[in-house]
Chain A
Amino acid sequence: QLQLQESGPGLVKPSETLSLTCTVSGGSISSSDYFWGWIRQPPGKGLEWIGSMYYSESTYYNPSLKTRVTIVSTSKNHFSLELSSVTAADTAVYYCARLCSSSSCYLSAFDIWGQGTMVTVSS
């Protein structure tokens, strides 16, 4: 059964770069069937899509974050998020997730999520 797990520092200083890794178990991100993504949720607020990727080929970013975001695959079971020049507004729970791969919902929704990791931006 496919599972996702986020990892990385829980505290990042303002103006530095936030770096997180998503570990995929029970499957491989290199499969041509799957797209992957990052979503975040500030404390007490709603969900914001950050970006999505297709293994080693294509990336797609939220225009509001595009100049600061990089999503890459780092191995067949890992992909990462980097967000540069962070401020307190980037404090959030960060989720990695898989986009639906079946023909009935292809790419239209996130069907498997990690548990999320809290990142606080503070000096």
Chain B
Amino acid sequence: EIVLTQSPGTLSLSPGERATLSCRASQSVSSSYLAWYQQKPGQAPRLLIYGASSRATGIPDRFSGSGSGTDFTLSISRLEPEDFAVYYCQQYGSALMYTFGQGTKLEIK
């Protein structure tokens, strides 16, 4: 089973700043099978990025994903107040197996 480790656990930034969130896999992951989600309190997760770097429908272009192999990154270029939330990475393995990272909380500094 592939384990995803996200860092940092909590990231404190101000609106307008750039955020960089990391997701590291215990084994190589196909870039096609790495996704990122945003979750706000009391809400379901929302798909942001799939295929490591493709934005889902309706996602602003300030969100971008990159990476390959075992190291992946979610970047938010200029933080808006609504971007402060918890972010999860997720990978798809064989036989429809899915694992999630433990999450990074992005909080207002």
Chain A interface residues toward B at CB < 8 A: 35, 37, 46-49, 52, 60, 62-63, 95, 97, 99-100, 104-105, 107-111, 113-116
Contacts of A116 in B (CB 8 A): 44
Q: How large is the interface on B (under 10, 10 to 19, 20 to 34, 35 or more residues)?
A: 20 to 34
User: When the two chains form the complex, which single residue of B37, B51, B90, B96 contacts A35, counting CB atoms closer than 8 Å?
Assistant: B96
Q: Which of B9-59 contact A (CB under 8 A)?
A: 32-33, 35, 37, 43-47, 50-51, 54, 56
Contacts of A111 in B (CB 8 A): 47, 50, 56
Q: Which of B46-96 contact A (CB under 8 A)?
A: 46-47, 50-51, 54, 56, 88, 90, 92, 95-96
Complex CA distance for A108 and B56, rounded to whole angstroms: 12
Please tell me if the beta carbons of A49 and B98 are within 8 angstroms of each other in the complex. Answer: yes
Cross-chain pair count, CB within 8 angstroms:
68
Known contacts A47-B90, A105-B54, A113-B44; 5 further A-B pairs (Cβ under 8 A):
A105-B50, A108-B33, A109-B50, A109-B56, A111-B47
